[in-house]
Amino acid sequence: MLTHLDEQNRPKMVDVSSKNDTNREATASGIITMSAKALDMVLNNKNKKGPVLQTAVISAILGAKQTSTLIPMCHPLMLTSINCDIDELKDGFKLIVTAKLKGQTGVEMEALTGVSIGLLTIYDMVKAVDKSMVIKDIKLLKKSGGKSGKYELKL
């Protein structure tokens, strides 16, 4: 079936040409868990590769801007804001990324990509101490704007 590439079977970027520009916003979060020793090194800046959380925030912002080159069917977007917060957990960190745009399509993927790249950066900077870290709970918390309107994750 693959080679016929019929309507069901061909990847495509959804056509948003006729959508209106609206203010759009999306927030996503994700968690990385690590050993007590690794957590301590991050919190006290004793890490071999340098300050972990600052680097994670910067990579999350840069990563969100790369979304349309990384995710094949995403539209290129002119983000007007990317913000990255980090919460300290008992056994790791939670990253929360919010992306904004005035445009024709949503920014959920930008928020989710920012979270993912930020968490991977934490993994990279700490892996000399702990290779068993786990990245988890990457999810869309909420979005607003566009025809489909508001969405908020039920907890």
Active site residues: 124
Q: Which helix (H) or strand (E) holds 25?
A: strand 22-33
Is 45 one of the binding residues for a second copy (CB under 8 A)?
yes
How many CA atoms does the CB half-sphere of 50 hold within 13 Å? 4
Contact 34, 92 (CB under 8 A): yes
Is 147 one of the binding residues for a second copy (CB under 8 A)?
no
Is 5 one of the binding residues for a second copy (CB under 8 A)?
yes
Q: Hey, CA dihedral for 43, 97, 89, 33, is it positive or negative?
A: negative
Is 37 one of the binding residues for a second copy (CB under 8 A)?
no
Query: From CA 103, how far away is CA 101, in angstroms rounded?
Result: 6
Q: Mask 103-122, x = binds a second copy (CB under 8 A)?
A: xxx--xx--xx--xx-xxx-
Least distance between a second copy and beta carbon 55 (Å): 5
Query: From CA 3, how far away is CA 1, in angstroms rounded?
Result: 6
Residue number, 80 or 91, with CB nearest to a second copy: 80
Q: Which of 13, 36, 89, 150 binds a second copy (CB under 8 A)?
A: 13
CA-based nearest residue to 118, from 74, 81, 86, 89: 86
Q: Which of 38, 53, 96, 129 binds a second copy (CB under 8 A)?
A: 53
Token digits for 20? 């209106």
Q: Within 17-36, which residues bind a second copy (CB under 8 A)?
A: 17, 19, 23, 30
Q: Which of 27, 129, 143, 146 binds a second copy (CB under 8 A)?
A: 143
Instruction: Supply angle C-alpha 85, 88, 92, rounded to 5.
Output: 115
Q: Within 55-94, which residues bind a second copy (CB under 8 A)?
A: 55, 57-59, 61-63, 65-66, 68-86, 88
